[in-house]
């Protein structure tokens, strides 16, 4: 599975509609499940391989043997947790120190 979380400082539900639709379309093409930290309401046309929730046990998911990738905003704590668990990580920087953190990760 893939775990997607933009941390506590970035609300995924606040992303533009077009970007959300691109995420949903991309998730639909994946041959495995996606666990997505989503704080908003119901997402239309959500693929059956995607589970959303406002909170997930990040440490447990990052340490899970079936984790294929962690998609993160690049917050320092999230990157430390990913490194601790040796979780493959894709960083999508949003603001502040995220791009610098991604460059060092």
User: Residue-wise pLDDT tens for the chain (105 aa)?
Assistant: 999 998 777 777 888 889 899 999 999 999 999 999 999 889 989 999 999 999 999 999 999 999 999 999 888 889 999 999 999 999 987 766 656 666 666
Q: What is the CATH number of domain 2-104?
A: 3.40.50.2000
Residues in CB range of 68: below 8 A, 6 or more apart: 1, 2, 32, 88
Q: What is the pLDDT of residue 94?
A: 72
Instruction: Tell me the H-state helices in 1-105.
Output: 17-28, 58-62, 76-84, 98-104
């Amino acid at each position: 599975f893939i775990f997607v979380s933009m941390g506590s400082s970035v609300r995924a539900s606040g992303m533009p509609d077009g970007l959300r639709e691109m995420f949903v379309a991309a998730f639909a093409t994946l041959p495995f499940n996606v666990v997505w930290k989503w704080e908003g309401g119901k997402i239309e046309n959500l693929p059956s391989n995607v589970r959303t929730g406002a909170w997930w046990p990040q440490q447990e998911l990052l340490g899970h043997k079936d984790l294929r990738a962690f998609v993160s905003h690049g917050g320092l704590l999230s990157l430390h947790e990913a490194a601790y668990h040796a979780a493959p990580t894709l960083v999508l920087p949003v603001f502040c120190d995220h791009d610098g953190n991604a460059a060092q990760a």
